[in-house]
């Protein structure tokens, strides 16, 4: 983390409001109120990946890249991976599959994954705005999904605009100027004029959950095991929590001189990680569903509830700590 600290942006406040409100009428989470230095940090994937690769090079870990696994064989004591030329890539007591949502090894090993489309797509981009983001993360709930402005270094803004797939297609096809016009209207001009937009792309939103996280000598972590709605920005945090849970069990197994590829060692990780991830996914889906209600009485009740919640710092702190994963779920 120390190697990318200067390229990550801390945010110390988060504002959440609805399309018929201004930001001040929503709910705000403040790190200072919770005695925290910040609510979190936003870093680019490229910076994180480079830092991790460099750290691996400094360690005793053997790294092989640009190889394709063609076969996996398990015995009572080890697992062996070979490539397309029948060359043995490695043998080990445990294979950790952490290769993302579209994991070919997960599929090869026969893990069953439940998938459910959210019926939405996310449009992402990098923005320059007239006003400073002031290290505040902002999220405005529109009728078809949330619009998030995330603070980045150098004053830039990371955009995540969740909407219907057909709307995402249309937004992606717009010229920069036309896109900026629509974004300005959707955001309510919360940061003044949008001066530029870059790196636009879109992707469909899908919920995924592996029914099992473990097999003998094989374990899934991170996006290979689960995917949640990006609304709360918890995908990476959940993956890191998986890793911490797995490492805890492996350290215990080493201390007890146990076989850390055995199901006896791996199943406690599966129970803890899967329960946490399912609870988090359910909570995120519940919030998304709640903000999707557009019937006038329900909208009024929701806004009244969030206004009341904004005046209850202890409850807000509990919600924020759970969302930030600074306390057990």
Kindly report the CATH number assigned to the domain that includes residue 124. 3.30.9.10
pLDDT (tens digit per residue) in 182-229: 999 999 999 999 999 999 999 999 999 999 999 999 999 999 999 999
Torsion of CA 41, 45, 48, 52, to 10 degrees: 150
329 part of a folded domain: no
Tell me the average pLDDT of the chain: 89
CATH of residue 280's domain is 3.50.50.60
> What is the total residue count of the chain?
329
Provide the percentage of residues in the chain whose pLDDT is more than 90. 64
Torsion of CA 144, 289, 114, 163, to 10 degrees: 10
Same domain? For 127 and 215 the reply is no
Radius of gyration of the chain from Cα atoms?
Answer: 22
Same domain? For 79 and 103 the reply is yes
CA 265, 79, 52 angle in degrees (round to 5)? Answer: 80
Provide the percentage of residues in the chain whose pLDDT is more than 70. 88
Torsion of CA 39, 201, 131, 41, to 10 degrees: 20
Same domain? For 96 and 122 the reply is no
Indicate the number of domains in the chain: 2
Which pLDDT value is given to residue 51?
92
Q: Where in the sequence is the domain holding 90, given as residue range(s)?
A: 64-112+211-288
Which pLDDT value is given to residue 302?
67
**Separation CA 23–CA 68 (nearest Å):** 49
Put residue 113 in one of left, alpha, beta given phi > 0 → left and psi -120 to 50 → alpha.
beta
Contact 83, 72 (CB under 8 A): no
106's enclosing H/E stretch is helix 104-108
Same domain? For 318 and 195 the reply is yes
Same domain? For 123 and 188 the reply is yes
Same domain? For 185 and 315 the reply is yes
pLDDT (tens digit per residue) in 156-165: 999 999 999 9
* Residue 329 reports pLDDT greater than 60: no
Mean pLDDT confidence for 284-300: 73
Q: Which residues of 96-129 are buried (b: 16+ CB within 10 A; e: fewer)?
A: bbbbebebebbeebebebeeeebebbbbbbbbeb
Phi, psi of 306 (to 5 degrees): -70, -35
- Three-state secondary-structure class, residue 165: helix
pLDDT (tens digit per residue) in 54-68: 999 899 988 888 888
55 part of a folded domain: no
CA 326, 141, 191 angle in degrees (round to 5)? Answer: 90
- Three-state secondary-structure class, residue 177: helix
Which pLDDT value is given to residue 35?
83
72 part of a folded domain: yes
Which pLDDT value is given to residue 6?
86
Q: How confident is the model at residue 20 (pLDDT cuts 50, 70, 90)?
A: confident
Same domain? For 142 and 73 the reply is no
302 part of a folded domain: yes
Same domain? For 271 and 241 the reply is yes
Which pLDDT value is given to residue 26?
80
Q: How confident is the model at residue 36 (pLDDT cuts 50, 70, 90)?
A: confident
297 part of a folded domain: yes
Same domain? For 12 and 155 the reply is yes
241 part of a folded domain: yes
pLDDT (tens digit per residue) in 81-129: 998 888 888 899 999 999 999 999 999 999 999 999 999 999 999 999 9
Q: Is the dihedral of CA 10, 15, 16, 22 positive or negative?
A: negative
175 part of a folded domain: yes
Same domain? For 137 and 175 the reply is yes
Model pTM score: 0.87
Mean pLDDT confidence for 288-308: 69
* Residue 15 reports pLDDT greater than 60: yes
50 part of a folded domain: no
Same domain? For 89 and 146 the reply is no
Torsion of CA 326, 45, 248, 266, to 10 degrees: 120
Same domain? For 22 and 148 the reply is yes
CA distances from 204 to 172, 180, 228 (A): 13, 21, 12
- The helices-and-strands tally (H runs, E runs) of the chain is 8, 16
């Amino acid at each position: 983390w120390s190697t990318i600290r200067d390229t990550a942006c801390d945010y110390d406040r988060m504002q959440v409001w609805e399309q018929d409100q201004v930001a001040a009428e929503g709910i705000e989470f403040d790190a200072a109120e919770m005695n925290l230095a910040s609510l979190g940090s936003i870093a680019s994937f490229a910076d994180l990946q480079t830092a991790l690769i460099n750290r691996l090079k400094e360690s005793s870990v053997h790294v092989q890249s640009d190889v394709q696994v063609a076969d996996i064989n398990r015995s009572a004591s080890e697992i062996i991976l070979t490539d397309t030329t029948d060359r043995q890539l490695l043998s080990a007591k445990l294979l950790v599959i952490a290769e993302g949502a579209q994991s070919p090894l997960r599929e090869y090993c026969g893990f069953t994954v439940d998938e459910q489309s959210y019926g939405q797509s996310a449009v992402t981009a990098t923005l320059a705005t007239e006003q400073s983001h002031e290290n505040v993360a902002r999220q405005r709930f529109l009728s078809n999904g949330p619009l998030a402005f995330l603070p980045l270094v150098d004053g830039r803004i990371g955009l995540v605009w969740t909407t219907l797939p057909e709307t995402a297609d249309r937004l992606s096809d717009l010229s920069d100027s036309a896109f900026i016009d629509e974004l300005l209207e959707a955001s309510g001009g919360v940061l003044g004029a949008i001066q530029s937009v870059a790196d636009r792309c879109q992707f469909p939103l899908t919920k995924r959950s592996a029914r099992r996280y473990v097999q003998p000598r094989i374990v899934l972590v991170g996006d290979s095991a689960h995917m949640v709605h990006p609304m709360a920005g918890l995908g990476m945090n959940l993956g890191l929590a998986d890793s911490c849970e797995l490492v805890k069990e492996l350290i215990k197994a080493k201390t007890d001189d146990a076989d850390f590829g055995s199901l006896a060692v791996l199943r406690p990780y599966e129970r803890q990680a899967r329960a946490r991830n399912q609870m988090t996914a359910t909570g995120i889906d519940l919030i998304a569903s709640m903000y999707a209600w557009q019937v006038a009485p329900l909208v009024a009740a929701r806004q009244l509830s969030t206004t009341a919640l904004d005046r209850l710092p202890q409850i807000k702190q509990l919600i924020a700590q759970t969302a930030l994963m600074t306390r057990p779920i």
